[in-house]
Amino acid sequence: MQIDDSLIQYSLSNGLRVMLKPIRTAPIVSSWVWYGVGSRNETPGKTGVSHWVEHMQFKGTANRSASDMDHAIARVGGMWNAFTSNDFTTYFETLPANSLDLALELEADRMQNSLFDPSEVETERTVILSEREGSENEPRWQLAEAVNQVSFRHHPYRNEVIGSKEDLLALTRDDLFGHYQNHYQPQNALLCIAGDLDPDTTKDRVQQFFGEIDGKPTTPNQPKAETDLPELRKVELSGPGETTYLQIAYRSPKADDEDFFAFTILDSLLAGPSSLNMFGSGGVGNRTSRLYLNLIETEFAVSMSGGLNASIDPTTYDLHLTLHPSRTPEELLARMDEQLGLISEGKISQDELDKAIKQARALFAYGSDNITNQAFWMGYSHVFADYSWFTYYIERLKQVSHEDVSRVAQHYLDPSHRVIGIYRPEEA
């Protein structure tokens, strides 16, 4: 991919931060607007408000109806979408380079003119409640919510991004519109554009569409981080089905902690590397990972995966396991703990470490190989650090040693500080 080394970063007078990255491989651009608000910033009684506001941003503005916006993107052959996470809300368009004005116009319009029509609010309430109820029918989703609730004492990471059913029923149009007005401000936003662009021309277009938006200071709620898990907790659920699922949660470091990179290799070694990107064009399997070889191939479990997330505050590292019908949860946990103990003791071969690093690097490269992903990383790395986090990521992985992996395993994978969740089928 031909990338101009001169990443351009500047701010408008209203506080909007802008990043431009010329990439000359194809006549397309990807434009992202990132807002520094997500479920992490929500307060009790208002869970789910960030996600719901994201939905409302597709319902029309004073200048364009919902169908007008959608058809405008479709006519030029582009794609657009949005995501709400714990740490951010983001909106993007990837489209032909000569249609960049359309993306800028839409996002500048949505930053200040969204309607939040009361009837649309009620329609979307039904949609989101149905989305949540559909998830509640899935045992693994039930288990994840239950484990998450006890993995944090107070931090909003304990809540599902979609929000609780009680809050979704209680939130009002004024709650949503107030959240929008408070947080969808230039000073709380970052605009990232990558692709076939001329920097000077693009600067002029950004100024034209965003420069006249009046901004006001915004101060999203900043929760106190939780660095340690409570002492050992167990959560047991039962319900329909024939399968037993386990989820084991450990505390994991925040993304800008030096331990995060050693933990990335630990994750790769244990369960296969976790993908941090959204639009990668490749993948890395987990069949050579320590837990696959010792849990799946020995028929203690029938499936296994790990989950490491890059986050502003310390969060959880979760191992998801599907029990083999011939085993008990206790047998599976004992087998798993045996492997975790060996890694904590430093019993890792050089070949195993090299393979884990190689796989983590490969997965990261797959997640950086197109223009949409390049623009994604420009904003995503700024959520919890800065762009150098992305540019030096592979180098920092290469520096991880045996001692780093075993030290991180000892510290974070403490069997006396974790949450063990088990979903048992009612027949059992």
- pLDDT reading at 168 higher than 80: yes
- pLDDT reading at 1 higher than 50: no
Q: What is the DSSP letter of 220?
A: -
Q: Which helix (H) or strand (E) holds 142?
A: helix 139-151
Confidence of residue 123 (pLDDT cuts 50, 70, 90): very high
Contact between 135 and 148 under an 8 Å Cβ cutoff? The reply is no
Per-residue pLDDT, averaged over 393-406, amounts to 96
Is the domain of 36 the same as that of 109? yes
Residues 320-353 have pLDDT tens digits of: 999 999 999 999 999 999 999 999 999 999 999 9
Helices 329-344, 402-412: crossing angle, 10 deg rounding: 140
- pLDDT reading at 276 higher than 80: yes
Q: Which helix (H) or strand (E) holds 21?
A: strand 17-22
Query: Could you say which of 175, 210, 245 is where a domain stops?
Result: 210
**Rounded distance between C-alpha atoms, residue 128 and residue 165, angstroms:** 9
In a domain, 1, yes or no: no
In a domain, 219, yes or no: no
Is the domain of 189 the same as that of 265? no
Per-residue pLDDT, averaged over 158-183, amounts to 98
Is the domain of 168 the same as that of 292? no
Is the domain of 153 the same as that of 275? no
Helix, strand, coil percentages for the chain (3-state, nearest 5)? 45, 20, 35
**CATH code for the domain in which residue 34 is found:** 3.30.830.10
In a domain, 221, yes or no: no
In a domain, 302, yes or no: yes
% the chain with pLDDT above 70? 97
Q: Could you give the number of structural domains in the chain?
A: 2
Is the domain of 206 the same as that of 238? no
Per-residue pLDDT, averaged over 138-142, amounts to 97
Q: Is 358 exposed, middle or buried, given 0-12, 13-18 or 19+ CB atoms closer than 10 A?
A: middle
Is the domain of 198 the same as that of 287? no
Is the domain of 242 the same as that of 200? no
At residue 285, the pLDDT reads 80
- pLDDT reading at 280 higher than 80: no
**Rounded distance between C-alpha atoms, residue 199 and residue 207, angstroms:** 12
Cα 130 to chain centroid distance, Å, stands at 22
Q: Which domain holds residue 388?
A: 233-425
2: left (phi over 0), alpha (psi -120 to 50) or beta: beta
Cα 65 to chain centroid distance, Å, stands at 29
In a domain, 220, yes or no: no
In a domain, 216, yes or no: no
Q: Which residues pair with 250 in a beta bridge?
A: 317
**Rounded distance between C-alpha atoms, residue 42 and residue 163, angstroms:** 10
Report which residue type is found at 155: H
- pLDDT reading at 416 higher than 60: yes
At residue 2, the pLDDT reads 47
Cβ count near 68 (within 10 Å)? 12
- pLDDT reading at 108 higher than 70: yes
- Alpha carbons within 13 angstroms on the beta-carbon side of residue 290 total 25
Is the domain of 420 the same as that of 273? yes
> What would the two tokens of residue 216 be?
């006001």
Is the domain of 165 the same as that of 248? no
Is the domain of 256 the same as that of 177? no
Phi, psi of 233 (to 5 degrees): -125, 150
In a domain, 352, yes or no: yes
Confidence of residue 3 (pLDDT cuts 50, 70, 90): very low
Is the domain of 153 the same as that of 255? no
In a domain, 254, yes or no: yes
Is the domain of 379 the same as that of 276? yes
Q: What is the pTM of this model?
A: 0.95
